[in-house]
A = this chain, B = another copy of it.
């Protein structure tokens, strides 16, 4: 695999062993693998991109704006709040950072077909990047996956399988498939590297690290990638400290947030997940233990919030700053809950991540207004 000189290889988040660049899981222990960068070769955000020009698959993802929301900073009593609007990626979600890299890695490995189970946005993004690379794709989604995601998978020419049930049923069905394809499934090391790129970009946006980052967490990949990116930047001398990373999840499906708060090392799978925030309904995240480690290492925490607070926070957010949906509203609601419990200082500079464009979740927000009599 052709990588930049900054890439040293893969290493396991569980046992520390190194692995071949083409591996998806640790050959020793089955743990989650991450891309190791050489801090001596990282001087800027661009250096955290693992592939050289000519070995990338890109639709110009990333370079998203960091939008200051002073009204929310005043409300929460912190120095500043800014929303990193990942909805402004090519298919309207942070997933694009992950699939740009995972599909590029697959193509370099000779793949002519990639696939993933997904709550929705990942399948849309995988189909878009596979199409851009000129290869086939397969998305396996649960029935509750939004029409928009299903439609756009088809529009990009991807194969889509809708599985009766919820996300775990899609994961099971994907695992049972025996057709030849290269998985770009949750836990893929180059998906996680998308979060690393996000961290480095955030540092460049602000010319330094924030004090805290609140991230709506589903699979946990981005939490892992963010922490590793910030730690890499510290090693590279680009910033002083890793910000506290807070995993915000809907309380009806908060396996990572609950484990961090409880001091547990592993997420407890949620038996009957039931949140309106579909992209975050991941009851047994494969990257869970790695995410818990990453959040702990950052000095952050988990925060679980009710669906009703999430939806109200999304609508409030849309009146103060960039468009966000229910997924992004989870960051706003999480930040409110964190402020209530004294997690922030008055001097804190806080970044919230909006993982999905507000327009993609207009129906959820409109339903909430309806329930408020509007």
Chain A, interface SS category: helix
Shortest beta-carbon distance, A248 to chain B, in Å?
A: 20
Question: Are A319 and B131 in contact, CB atoms less than 8 angstroms apart?
Answer: yes
- The answer to whether A318 touches B131, judged by C-beta atoms less than 8 angstroms apart, is yes
24 A-B pairs within 8 Å (CB atoms) are namely A60-B66, A60-B85, A60-B322, A67-B90, A90-B323, A92-B323, A92-B357, A131-B319, A132-B321, A148-B359, A148-B363, A152-B323, A152-B358, A152-B359, A152-B365, A154-B369, A154-B374, A155-B315, A155-B362, A155-B365, A155-B366, A156-B318, A156-B323, A359-B360
CA gap between A132 and B316 in the complex, in Å: 11
Taking CB atoms, residues of chain B closer than 8 Å to A152 are 318, 323, 358-359, 362, 365
0/1 string, A49-68, CB within 8 A of B gives 1:
00000000001100101110
Starting from the known contacts A88-B90, A131-B319, 19 additional A-B residue pairs (CB-CB under 8 Å) come to A60-B85, A60-B322, A85-B90, A90-B322, A90-B323, A91-B359, A131-B318, A131-B320, A150-B366, A151-B362, A151-B366, A152-B318, A152-B323, A152-B358, A152-B362, A154-B366, A155-B315, A155-B318, A155-B358
CA distance A357 to B63 in the complex (A): 17
Number of residues from A at the complex interface, CB < 8 A = 43
A155 touches B369 (CB 8 A): yes
- Please determine whether A323 and B128 come into contact, CB atoms closer than 8 angstroms: yes
Q: Which residues of B contact A357 (CB under 8 A)?
A: 92, 357, 359
